[in-house]
Amino acid sequence: MRHGKYRFVAGFLALPVLLYVFYVWVPFGYSFYFSLTRYRGTDVPPVFVGLDNFTTLFTDTPEFWKALTHNGVILLIMPLVTIVIALIFAFFLNVGGKAKGGVTSGVRGSKFYRLVFFFPQLLALPIVAVLFQSIYRPDDSGLINGALNKLGLPKIGFLIDTNIALLSIIAVMVWQAVGFYVVLFSAGMSSIPKEIYEAADLDGASRWTMFYKVTLPLLWDNIQVGWVYLGIAAFDVFALVDVLSVNRGGPSFSTTVLSMEVVNKIGAGNYGMASAMGVMLFFCTLTFAAISLRVTKRESIEY
Amino acid sequence: MAKKRSSTESFMTLGHIALAGWALVVIVPLLWTFASSFKTNSEIFGDAWTLPGALRWENWAYAWEHARIGKLMLNSVVVVAFSTFGTMLLGSMAAYVIARYKFPGNRFFYYFFISGLAFPVVLGLPSLFLIVRNLGQTPGIGDFLGLGTTPGLVLVYIAYSLPFTVFFLTAFFKTLPHSVAEAAMIDGASHTRLFFRVMMPMAKPGLISITIFNVIGQWNQYLLPRVLMQGRSGVEDKYVLTQGIAQISTTAGYEAHWGPLFAALTMSIIPMIVVYAFFQRQIQSGLTSGAVK
């Protein structure tokens, strides 16, 4: 039987491992190698240039710095805004309703809200991007500017104003992500024992005190997971910039991100530089994950 | 006490307003897209907050025929059907032996798969592009696996879906009881039979969650087809929906068919609403299961 067991294990692992090595590990490995070479993908083999590509990136590639900065801005704003909004909504949904004998319940229609809020998560990013292209149109044919116009407010050049184009894109990310975290946090909140809220209510705690002193600490693990997820998403932004922004990362590079620049460099056949940027993106993600796991590590509360 | 009650009431009112407001922020853009799908170009470039003058279904017909929404959806269905099936089959096979069998290198294979989660897809993208391109120049298999081929895209989808699938299913297979497996072995079932006839049915809840996760993830995938579905004549016929929508949005600009663009958008949103209406519980738990683990 022993022999049969090993044959079985090998048989079950062979195909997945082969596919995974070929399409995932080999490209990862090659990208590290290509990042140290000049390579145009032709019959001319890669020329080893050491760290030249990275030097070029840091000293002579303004779009790289812009992309890096934008990923950083997204990382600072998007997870924070998403989590704060989602927490508030989840709190309203779970304990915003009438108190019955000291036990607070969710607001009416909380099922409906959860259902609606979550839906954007299912839409493919290119669809969302095309949708918001029209919503953000700079004249009153755009959904938002049309409304602003009716209220007598000045128009906003959401995607064409270099100062706010990136913020407009971040807003779309928040629009799509909030529902997911409302559902995630709601699940976490519903597992917090009602007695704790009851006790807090008896002690005369207001809803806000309950939120800060009960919900937030007990939900810390969920928030931490959400933070890491959204942070990684901040480095992964591509489709929204590719489809929604003016000229794929414009106007004048005001919305470009690292993945956009990698894809552009692939399109230009400059595989050395594309790989170098990919490697930079990898180290950014890794650094973020390491830091956030360290910073958010905190005694979790047992209940 | 009275003060507390009134503050609680104003809190509830505030909550209702905020929730209703966000619901509108989600629903209004979708309804507006639907309304715009019946508009003429001049209506679309007029005031955004007016309804279309008539129900112009010809926009829908145009989107279906010229923008080939039906064809794009069918392509996506084919790609996702094969890649999700492949992901589930290969992923559960790997996860099963890693979770339930002791063999040298067991830990190694586990980390071999899940460490892929730490690498962004973009890192490997330049080399992946070259590898798939070179596959396309290999005689015999090139026409199936190179750039711009559906089977080639399917294999890439499977490979990049494996880390999370293996990670999730390994944890799941570990929770299944050993007694049933032992009983089946005593009855003389082979390892393979045990897997397909006993363990897979027992793992159904986990398999359903991760299947939903993969279907939605692969249906919405954009980066990989954007880079890999090109460079072959007639590749437009093989575009997946996400790619097609992105392309339609650029061509609508210079061909000035804005109504059909919104019809195309509506047609790609409606199936998601229908699927969501039927499977919302499974979808919510399937998508959040990744974060809960």
Q: A236: domain CATH number?
A: 1.10.3720.10
Measured between CB atoms, which of B90, B160, B192 is closest to A16?
A: B90
The DSSP output letter for A246 is B
Does residue B219 contact residue A124 with C-beta atoms inside 8 Å?
yes
For the segment A276-285, the average pLDDT, to the nearest whole number, is 94
Neighbours of A164 (CB within 10 A): 16
Residues 6+ apart with CB under 8 A from A182: A86, A89, A90, A93, A113, A114, A117, A118
Q: What are phi and psi of A106, to 5 degrees?
A: -70, 160
Q: Which of residues 76-95 of A touch B (CB under 8 A)?
A: 85, 88-89, 92-93
pLDDT for B1: 45
Residue A123 lies in a domain: yes
Q: Which residues of chain A lie closer than 8 angstroms to B120, CB-CB?
A: 232, 235-236, 259, 278, 281-282, 285
Per-residue b or e along B268-277, where b marks 16 or more CB atoms closer than 10 Å to that residue's CB: bbeebeebbe
Token pair belonging to B247: 């392309």
CA distance A13 to chain B (A): 5
For the segment B61-65, the average pLDDT, to the nearest whole number, is 88
A37: contact with B, CB 8 A cutoff: no
Q: Check pLDDT > 90 for residue A208.
A: no
- The dihedral region occupied by B256, where left means phi > 0, alpha psi between -120 and 50, and beta the remainder, is left
Q: Give the span between the Cα atoms of B145 and B142, in whole angstroms.
A: 5
Range(s) of the domain holding residue A86 = 52-295
Residues 6+ apart with CB under 8 A from B181: B100, B194, B198, B199
Token pair belonging to B244: 């097609």
Lowest mean pLDDT across A168-177, A281-290, B189-198: B189-198
Token pair belonging to A228: 């890491």
pLDDT for B178: 85
The pTM of this model reads 0.90
Q: Which of residues 99-118 of A touch B (CB under 8 A)?
A: 99, 107, 109, 112-118
Q: Which of residues 87-106 of B touch A (CB under 8 A)?
A: 90-91, 93-94, 96-97, 101, 103
Lowest mean pLDDT across A85-94, A100-109, A128-137, A193-202: A100-109
For the segment B267-280, the average pLDDT, to the nearest whole number, is 89
For the segment B27-49, the average pLDDT, to the nearest whole number, is 89
Residue A189 lies in a domain: yes
Q: Check pLDDT > 60 for residue A66.
A: yes
Confidence of residue A295 (pLDDT cuts 50, 70, 90): confident
Q: Give the span between the Cα atoms of B211 and B200, in whole angstroms.
A: 13
For the segment A219-231, the average pLDDT, to the nearest whole number, is 88
Please answer yes or no on whether B127 and A147 come within 8 Å at the CB atom. Answer: no
Measured between CB atoms, which of B12, B120, B269 is closest to A127?
A: B269
Measured between CB atoms, which of A85, A142, A184 is closest to B48?
A: A142
Residue A171 lies in a domain: yes
A251 preceded by cis ω (within 30°)? yes
Please answer yes or no on whether B122 and A259 come within 8 Å at the CB atom. Answer: yes
- Cα radius of gyration rounded to whole Å, chain A: 24
Please answer yes or no on whether B222 and A124 come within 8 Å at the CB atom. Answer: yes
Per-residue b or e along A184-200, where b marks 16 or more CB atoms closer than 10 Å to that residue's CB: bbbbbbeebeeeebeeb
Token pair belonging to B156: 């890439």
Q: Give the span between the Cα atoms of A1 and B39, in whole angstroms.
A: 70
Question: If you average pLDDT over each of A1-10, A91-100, B185-194, which comes out highest?
Answer: B185-194
For the segment A271-291, the average pLDDT, to the nearest whole number, is 93
For the segment B96-120, the average pLDDT, to the nearest whole number, is 90
Residue A222 lies in a domain: yes
Residue A165 lies in a domain: yes
Of A213, A245, A115, A232, nearest to B249 by C-alpha is A245
Q: Check pLDDT > 60 for residue A187.
A: yes
Strand-strand pairing, A103-104 and A47-48: unpaired
Hey, is A61 helix, strand or coil? Answer: coil
Hey, is A37 helix, strand or coil? Answer: strand
The domain total for chain A is 1
Q: Give the span between the Cα atoms of B88 and B95, in whole angstroms.
A: 10
CA distance B214 to chain A (A): 12
ipTM of the prediction: 0.89
Hey, is A38 helix, strand or coil? Answer: strand
pLDDT for A99: 56
Confidence of residue B47 (pLDDT cuts 50, 70, 90): confident
Q: Check pLDDT > 60 for residue A120.
A: yes
Instruction: Report which of residues A212 and A26 the model is more confident about.
Output: A26
Of B117, B230, B274, B47, nearest to A267 by C-alpha is B230
Quickly list H helices, chain B. Answer: 2-36, 41-44, 58-65, 69-100, 106-114, 121-136, 142-145, 150-175, 178-186, 191-193, 200-202, 204-219, 223-228, 241-255, 258-292
Q: Give the span between the Cα atoms of B258 and B44, in whole angstroms.
A: 7
A23: contact with B, CB 8 A cutoff: yes
The proportion of chain A whose per-residue pLDDT surpasses 90, expressed as a percent, equals 57
Confidence of residue B206 (pLDDT cuts 50, 70, 90): confident
Hey, is B290 helix, strand or coil? Answer: helix
Does residue B194 contact residue B95 with C-beta atoms inside 8 Å?
no
pLDDT for A262: 95
Residue A30 lies in a domain: no
Residue of B10, B31, B123 to mutate for A, most A C-beta atoms under 10 A: B123
pLDDT for B226: 94
CA distance B212 to chain A (A): 11
Q: Check pLDDT > 50 for residue A128.
A: yes
The proportion of chain B whose per-residue pLDDT surpasses 90, expressed as a percent, equals 45
Q: Which of residues 153-192 of A touch B (CB under 8 A)?
A: 175, 178-180, 183-184, 187
Measured between CB atoms, which of B26, B90, B101 is closest to A116?
A: B26
pLDDT for A189: 86
Domains by residue range for chain B, with CATH: 59-292 (1.10.3720.10)
Measured between CB atoms, which of A13, A34, A282 is closest to B119?
A: A282
CA distance B222 to chain A (A): 7
Q: Which residues of chain B lie closer than 8 angstroms to A123, CB-CB?
A: 220, 269, 272
Residue A6 lies in a domain: no
Of B187, B181, B185, nearest to B202 by C-alpha is B181
Element housing A99 (H / E): strand A99-100
pLDDT for B253: 67
Hey, is A104 helix, strand or coil? Answer: strand
Taking one residue from A and the other from B, the number of pairs with CB-CB distance under 8 angstroms is 283
For the segment A193-217, the average pLDDT, to the nearest whole number, is 83
Instruction: Report which of residues B188 and B34 the model is more confident about.
Output: B34
For the segment A104-111, the average pLDDT, to the nearest whole number, is 70
The proportion of chain B whose per-residue pLDDT surpasses 70, expressed as a percent, equals 95
Q: Check pLDDT > 80 for residue B37.
A: yes
CA distance B119 to chain A (A): 6
Residues 6+ apart with CB under 8 A from B21: none
Question: If you average pLDDT over each of A208-222, B38-52, B108-122, which comes out highest?
Answer: B108-122
For the segment A31-59, the average pLDDT, to the nearest whole number, is 91
Element housing A48 (H / E): strand A47-48
Q: Check pLDDT > 90 for residue B231.
A: no
pLDDT for A292: 82
pLDDT for B186: 85
Please answer yes or no on whether A122 and B216 come within 8 Å at the CB atom. Answer: yes
pLDDT for B293: 43
pLDDT for B33: 93
The DSSP output letter for A75 is H
Q: How far is CA B196 from the centre of its chain?
A: 26
B145: contact with A, CB 8 A cutoff: no
- The dihedral region occupied by A154, where left means phi > 0, alpha psi between -120 and 50, and beta the remainder, is beta
Residue A42 lies in a domain: no
Instruction: Report which of residues B112 and B48 the model is more confident about.
Output: B112
Bridge partners (DSSP) of residue A250 are A246
pLDDT in tens, A232-272: 999 999 999 999 998 888 898 999 999 999 999 999 999 99
Q: Which residues of chain A lie closer than 8 angstroms to B249, CB-CB?
A: 126, 129-130, 133, 243
Q: Give the span between the Cα atoms of A250 and A66, in whole angstroms.
A: 11
pLDDT for A106: 63
Per-residue 3-state assignment (H helix, E strand, C coil) for B151-164: HHHHHHHHHHHHHH
Residues 6+ apart with CB under 8 A from B107: none
Token pair belonging to B207: 């398999």
Please answer yes or no on whether B113 and A282 come within 8 Å at the CB atom. Answer: no
CA distance B74 to chain A (A): 16
Q: Give the span between the Cα atoms of B211 and B192, in whole angstroms.
A: 21
pLDDT for B43: 87
Measured between CB atoms, which of B27, B32, B159 is closest to A23?
A: B159
